[in-house]
Every structure is written in structure tokens, then in C-alpha cells.
Amino acid sequence: MRRDRFLLAATLTAIFSADLYFILLPKLRSVGQGTGQLCSCGPSNLTLPRLRGLATPQLSNWTSALPLDDTTTEPTDGGLKLGRLFAHPLYNIQTPELGPEERLLQVEQLMEYYRKKVSRWERHNKLYSEVAAISNISVIEHEVTFDPDASWMKFHLGISRYALYSRDDPAIPQLLRDMQSMPVVSADYTQDEKALKGACDCTQVVKPSGHHLKLALKMHDFAKAMFKPMRQNRDEETPEDFFYFVDLQRHNAEIAAFHLDRILDFRRVPPVTGRLMNITGEILQVTHNEDLRAVFFTSPANNTCFFAKCLYVCKTEYAVCGSPDLLEGSLSAYLPGLSIAPRLSIPNPWIRSYTFNGQEEWEVNPFYCDTVKQTYPYNSGNRLLNIIDMSIFDFLTGNMDRHHYEIFTRFGDEGFILHLDNARGFGKHSQDETSILAPLSQCCMIKSSTLVRLQLLARPEFRLSDVMRESMEGDPLRPILTEPHLLALDRRLQKVLRAVQRCVRRLGKDEVIIRDFVKSTVKPQTSTELIKAR
């Protein structure tokens, strides 16, 4: 009996020793060394094997890239993560020369268009000055000079089949600086605001424009930018009882969306910057629109205020006010005019129900994507993959209001999707609306280039919240986002990666991860080429 006990004790001791040596001891060593080996997203997970111009991400353990809390060890290089991110090979891919057919506009075409615009402006301005003098209306006259080498002209000429601007386009940072300081020579309602005149229907649940003020501002060199004033403080969250279609539009969300789009390397959001505007001197005194002049008033607190023109919001309680004249807002660079660069507005296949209790098919049918895949233009090319890119972008910002998207008609079905109107993002940092990811979770497809960049931004040395914070630090209205919103980006990024992982487990990575061209091609991919790439 004693011998049996001795053998049992010896066996248990041997098992415990083996566990200690082969399992527990290596873990204790890695923790003691602080090397971060418990994080399974090492450098090898981001290698890009060359496959005839294609890139395929390595997928081993790639979803456990970053803990959801804020305990990740920081690098000791001063935190300049943004510079290292843009120095990464993914952001320094050599692209071939673009041919005329791959550019949105040609130089001669754009110059002729703006020569006519300048002549029209000069005639209109002269006529208005004469009428204003007769009517004793005070209008500030600014010197206006058309500069063919202006940054906004270079921005327009840089738009290609693949993106609104190239990764290293020096015109973009210059355009941001110009919009921050250029004198405003004219202010007016935007064209869609003008279209509402006499068309306001108070019986509609969703109004055509709501009380979301936006103005078109013209600068001294004929640059044009859309101004959205501040309507909500940064530390305010959207009230829980608000539907997404009655939510406020946030100027800082427009700014943050531009930086996020650039960091994700989509480059589908026009340049946006913040600016502190004097709404008396830079809007009221330079506008030629009498309707706009008529909505300015002085509040009981002696602040200058103005409101939208639509009847159901033509009230002082919907106004925005300066302090007393200064008001911060976002300035978004205008795209080329529709007459020279026409765009097509297309309903989002995953459009939401804009009623109080309705539901769309995708909300009740888990196989909805199978129908979409058989429908033009999502049955070939990369349109569906671009929709999935957009859903990831919207999920990270929390924007539920993507009812339409736009494309340039010149590039046809293979053109990229514009990520316009992002002001309803970043409303709730404490809630993640996973239904925004329906295109990804239902279709179970994602571009390999998109996935690799998401993996990269989940690593501690390139953490998304950190590079976003650094990127927005140069904006005049910094801080653009509060810390809870920045940390929410990291949390949501993990959820995107987990959604991809679930798809890979169910279907296999060859079905989920779609290999795409990392560098631009001379001609767009055909549907046959896309199928072969899969």
C-alpha cells in the first residue's frame, strides 16, 4: 500500500514538474522580460509577399493585436507614431504614372472652366456693388485674384481613378493651411440649401435638410469651402432617445473623419480643417444673398446669431451664435463643379429605414448580401468591396446616416466611392453600433490591403487612437475629439478584426480575404481579374 502511494506521489510530482518547466516557466519569463510576447501580433504578421503586384496579409493570430483596455506598453521614442506610420511600406507604395484617362480633369479643361467663372464673378460683383451703393447696403470689398497654381487647383487636378489625392501630395497640407487663413470674399447658402426654398414639408419625419446649417464660402483666390458651424460641444454625447436621422451634425466629426480616412489610406474624404470664423465680418458683411442677411440677429446676450432658411427651423431657438462674433466650424474643400466633373448619387444597399419603427430587408434577412451580389453594379468589379470599406469607416466613426454614396461618373463602375458628409459621426463614444458593419458581417469579404492596414493600426507602435491624436494636433481647433472618442476607435477596431476572424473561421481565408492591387494599375480590374485574384 505504501508502495502504491509512493508511485502515485512520484507520478504527480513528474507531471507538475513538466507543467512548470514547459508551460508556466516560459510564460513567467516572457512577463518578467516585458518583451510583449503575450501580444501575438508580431512583425511577421505584416509581411507583404510579392505576388505579381499583389499583397496578401499573414493571418496567424492577427485579431489579438491590442487589448481593449489602455494597458499596452508605450514605445520610448517620444510617441511620434504618425511619422512612423506614414514611413511604413504600406504608405510608401510606388505608383505608376497616371494616364489622361485615369485623371478626373485635364489642366486646360480646368483652366478654361475657371476663366469663365472668374469673368462671371467680376461681372456679378460689379453689378452688386452698384446696386448696394444705391441701396446704402454696406459690403466689404476684398481683392480677388485667380491663381492657377493655387493649392485647391492642384487638389482638383490630383483627383484620379483611385483616390482624391495621392499619399504624398504636397498640395493637401498646403490646402489645409490656406483654408485656415485665407480671407473670405463671399458667403452664400449651398445649392442644396437653396433648393429647399418653398419646399419645406413639416409633415415629413425626416426633413430634407433639418436644422443643419451649412454655407458655401469663397476665398480670395476663388477657392471654395463648405462651412459647418459648431452645434454641439465635444464632451456632449448624442442623447439616447435621438434617432440617427434627427441627430445634430458636428463640425469636429467632419474634421476627425478626414484624418481617419487619410490614416486608413482610403483618401476618399475631401480635405477638412477647423477654423474660428468671425460670422459678422466673414459671413454677414460679404454675402450678396439677401435671404442669408435676413436670418442674422443679435441675441439677448449680445451675441451675433443666424439660422437656417427652411420654414420649420426658421426660429431663433435653432440658431447658432458667436461669442460675440466668433464661432468655430469646419471647412471642407469643395470638389470640382458638377458641370465639369459630374457625380452620381446612389442609394446605399444597406440604407436604413428613416421612419420611427420601420426595418429594411438587410435588418431582418441574414442572407441579404446574396441578393446584393447578384445585382448590378455589385455583381462584378470592386463596388461591393468599396461598400464594405465604407461600412468599416462608418463603424469606426459611429455614423449611421449613410443613406447614399457618390461616385464620379467619369470613372464608371470601377471608380472609388466618395466618403462625403460625415458630420453625424462621433456622437456616442460609449456605444458601438455593430449594425453599421452589416455589409462586412453579411458578405464576409474584405480587401487584403484594408485588412493589413487595420492590423497595422491595432499594433501598439501604431495604435489608431494615438496616430489620430497626433494627426489632429495640427488643427487650429484642437483637441478635435475627446479622449473617450479616441479610445473608442481602438475598441471598435478590435471588433472589426473579430468580425473578419469569425468569417475566416466559417468560410476560410481564401473566401474572405480578397487580394487586391496594392499599387495602382494602368487599367482598372475587370470582373474576371477580380475572380482570378480570389
Instruction: Say whether 406 counts as a known binding-site residue.
Output: yes
Gap between the Cα atoms of 490 and 501, Å rounded: 17
3-state secondary structure of 55: strand
Instruction: Say whether 333 counts as a known binding-site residue.
Output: yes
Select from 196, 241, 281 the least CA-distant residue to 427: 241
401 in catalytic set: yes
Gap between the Cα atoms of 75 and 456, Å rounded: 15
Contact 250, 232 (CB under 8 A): yes
Contact 220, 183 (CB under 8 A): yes
Handedness of CA 473, 478, 481, 482 (dihedral sign): positive
Instruction: Say whether 189 counts as a known binding-site residue.
Output: no
- List 188, 261, 265, 401, catalytic entry: 401
Q: Which residue has the cell 463640425?
A: 251
Instruction: Say whether 334 counts as a known binding-site residue.
Output: yes
Instruction: Say whether 332 counts as a known binding-site residue.
Output: yes
Element (H, E) at 125: helix 107-135
Instruction: Say whether 102 counts as a known binding-site residue.
Output: no
Gap between the Cα atoms of 228 and 279, Å rounded: 12
Any idea how long the chain is? 534
Handedness of CA 449, 450, 451, 457 (dihedral sign): positive
Select from 406, 463, 234, 262 the least CA-distant residue to 330: 234
Gap between the Cα atoms of 501 and 61, Å rounded: 9
Instruction: Say whether 489 counts as a known binding-site residue.
Output: no
Contact 445, 508 (CB under 8 A): no
Gap between the Cα atoms of 455 and 64, Å rounded: 9
Kindly list the distances between the CA atom of residue 133 and the CA atoms of 119, 127, 140, 465, in Å, as whole numbers in the listed order: 22, 10, 12, 54
At 443, phi and psi to the nearest 5? -85, -25
Which amino acid, 442?
Answer: Q
Instruction: For Cα atoms 424, 425, 426, give the angle at the middle one, nearest 5 degrees.
Output: 125
414-452 residues labelled b (16+ CB within 10 A) or e (exposed): bbbbbbbbbbbbbbbbeebeeebbbbbbbbbbbbbbbbb
Gap between the Cα atoms of 215 and 226, Å rounded: 6
Beta bridge partners of 36: none
Instruction: For Cα atoms 73, 78, 81, give the angle at the middle one, nearest 5 degrees.
Output: 75
322-351 residues labelled b (16+ CB within 10 A) or e (exposed): bebbebbbbbbbbbbeeeebebeeeebbbe
Select from 497, 508, 473 the least CA-distant residue to 79: 473
Binding residues for ATP: 228, 332-335, 406, 421
Binding residues: 228, 332-335, 406, 421
Residues acting as catalytic residues: 401
Binding residues for Mn(2+): 421
